[in-house]
Chains A and B, each alone.
Chain A
Amino acid sequence: QVQLEESGPGLVRPSQTLALTCTVSGDSITSDDYYWSWIRQHPGRDLEWIGYIYYSGGTFYNPSLRSRATISLDTSKNQFSLKLTSVTAADTAMYYCVGGGNNYGLIVYWGQGTLVTVSS
C-alpha cells in the first residue's frame, strides 16, 4: 500500500513562495505509470487539482495555476515537491499530495493533508 505524507510550513506571508514536500513510502516514486499530484481544498469543500508529475519527470498543470506552480521529483529521497509563487489569501487551503496509476484514473492514494494559511 502506497502511503504519502506532506510536510512544510503552515504559514506563508503574502507574495512569498509556498513550498511543500511529499514523502512516499510503500513504492518507488519512479514506478512505472505513476502520477504524483498536488490537490488543494479550500475552506468549505471545493477540491482543486494543481498539477501532476509523471514518474519519468514530465509535468502537467492546471491552466489557472500554471504560471505560479512547479512540481518536481527527488528520486534519491522518494519525494516530490510543490512550489507556488506569489501567494495571496486565496491560496489558503488544505494541500494534499496524491499518487495513482493511469488505470485507476490517476487519483488513488492520498496524504492526510497539510493546512497552509497565507497571512501577514
Chain B
Amino acid sequence: DIVMTQTPLSSPVTLGQPASISCRSSQSLVHTDGNTYLSWLHQRPGQPPRLLIYTISNRFSGVPDRFSGSGAGTDFTLKISRVEAEDVGVYYCMQATQSVTFGQGTKVEIK
C-alpha cells in the first residue's frame, strides 16, 4: 500500500492569514499513464468530505481560488491564501494512482 503522511496534524490559523498543509507519499504517485492522481478533500463536522483539488493542482467545480495545490512525485502541498471561517475542518490528501489511500487528516481551526 502507498502510505500518505500529512503534516501538521493540527493547524491553528488566524482569519485572513495563509495556511499550508503538506502531504508525502511512500512512493511516487506518477501513474503509468503520466498523470499523478493526488487529490485534496475537505470535511466539515457532520458532513461527508468534498473534493477540492484533483491531479495535484486542478480545482474542482465551485472551489474558491484561494485554494491551490502543488507538488510532484512524492511531495505535495495544499495552500489556502487567506483563511475564511468556512475553511475550518479536516483536510485529507488522497492518492488513486495505486489503489486508493488517504492521509491521516489535518485539522484546521481558527485561533
Residues of chain A touching chain B, judged by Cβ–Cβ distance below 8 Å, are 37, 39, 45-49, 52, 60, 62-63, 96, 100, 103-108, 110-113
Tell me which residues across on chain B come within 8 A of A46, comparing CB atoms.
102, 104-105
Write 30 A-B pairs (CB below 8 A) sorted by A numbering.
A37-B100, A39-B100, A45-B43, A45-B90, A45-B104, A46-B104, A46-B105, A47-B94, A47-B102, A49-B99, A49-B100, A52-B100, A60-B99, A62-B99, A63-B99, A96-B48, A100-B51, A104-B51, A105-B51, A105-B54, A105-B96, A106-B37, A106-B96, A107-B41, A107-B96, A108-B60, A110-B48, A110-B50, A112-B47, A113-B48
With the chains together, A37 CA to B49 CA distance in Å? 14
- Distance to closest chain B CB from A103 (angstroms): 8
Q: Does chain A have a CB within 8 A of B92?
A: yes
Q: Verify A106–B51 contact, CB threshold 8 A.
A: no
Q: What is the 8 Å Cβ interface bit string for chain B, positions 15-53, against chain A (1 contact, 0 not)? A: 000000000000000000000011101010001111100
Residues of chain B touching chain A, judged by Cβ–Cβ distance below 8 Å, are 1, 37-39, 41, 43, 47-51, 54-55, 60, 90, 92, 94, 96, 99-102, 104-105
- Distance to closest chain B CB from A5 (angstroms): 11
Tell me which residues across on chain A come within 8 A of B48, comparing CB atoms.
96, 110-113
Tell me which residues across on chain A come within 8 A of B41, comparing CB atoms.
107
Given contacts A60-B99, A104-B54, 17 further A-B contacts (CB under 8 A): A37-B100, A45-B104, A45-B105, A46-B102, A46-B104, A47-B94, A47-B102, A49-B100, A96-B48, A105-B37, A105-B96, A106-B100, A107-B94, A107-B100, A110-B48, A110-B50, A113-B48
- Distance to closest chain B CB from A118 (angstroms): 21
- Distance to closest chain A CB from B49 (angstroms): 6
| Known A46-B104, A63-B99; contact A107-B51, beta-carbon cutoff 8 A | yes
| Known A105-B96, A107-B39, A107-B94; contact A49-B102, beta-carbon cutoff 8 A | yes
Q: Which 3 A-B pairs have the closest CB atoms?
A: A49-B100, A110-B48, A47-B102
